[in-house]
Amino acid sequence: MTSPFDERSRSIPGIVIDLIGQFTTLLRQESKLARAEISENLNRALTGVVMAVAAAVLLIPALVILLLAGVYGLEAAGFASYWAALIVGGAAVVIGAVLMVIGVNRLKAKNLIPSKTIHQFQEDAALAKRQMNGDGEGTDGVQRAA
């Protein structure tokens, strides 16, 4: 019985069939990895959106009460009611705008790209290219199996 790694006793069609089989297995595994990574990223984004909505529902009434207390505090400190409302409202707008920018940046599509899988595909393509050129070893001297 010959070993599958004994290249001297293998025929060219046998090698090609083995190469195609390993390539399809590699593609299946990589697509599985990509689906898992995309699913994980989408679940993380969905969880973030749900938590943000729940926080907004709870925090909006509390924020209104605190802003009103800030206006009353500034009035008690001697500001006219319209100035007190303008100061508190302006501060709330600035803080809200900063939080909005941060939240939108975290939901951008680039954060949902399966970067690990893309990197793995690139490594596999480079390895396949090296093997096709006759250099069957990776950069670390170890041949990678599918």
Least confident of 62-71, 91-100, 111-120: 111-120
Burial class (CB in 10 A: 0-12, 13-18, 19+), 71: buried
C-alpha 23/C-alpha 13 separation (Å) is 15
Q: Is the pLDDT of residue 76 over 70?
A: yes
pLDDT at 141: 52
Which tens digits make up the pLDDT trace of 12-69?
888 888 888 888 888 888 888 888 888 888 888 899 899 999 998 998 999 899 999 9
pLDDT at 96: 92
Q: Is the pLDDT of residue 115 over 90?
A: no
Q: Name the pLDDT band for 103 (thresholds 50, 70, 90).
A: confident
- Crossing angle of the two packed helices 115-132 and 12-76, in degrees rounded to 10: 160
pTM score of the predicted model: 0.43
Tokens 């593609």 locate to: 27
Q: Is the pLDDT of residue 85 over 90?
A: yes
What average pLDDT does the structure give for the chain? 83
Which tens digits make up the pLDDT trace of 125-139?
888 788 777 665 545
pLDDT at 138: 47
Q: Name the pLDDT band for 140 (thresholds 50, 70, 90).
A: low
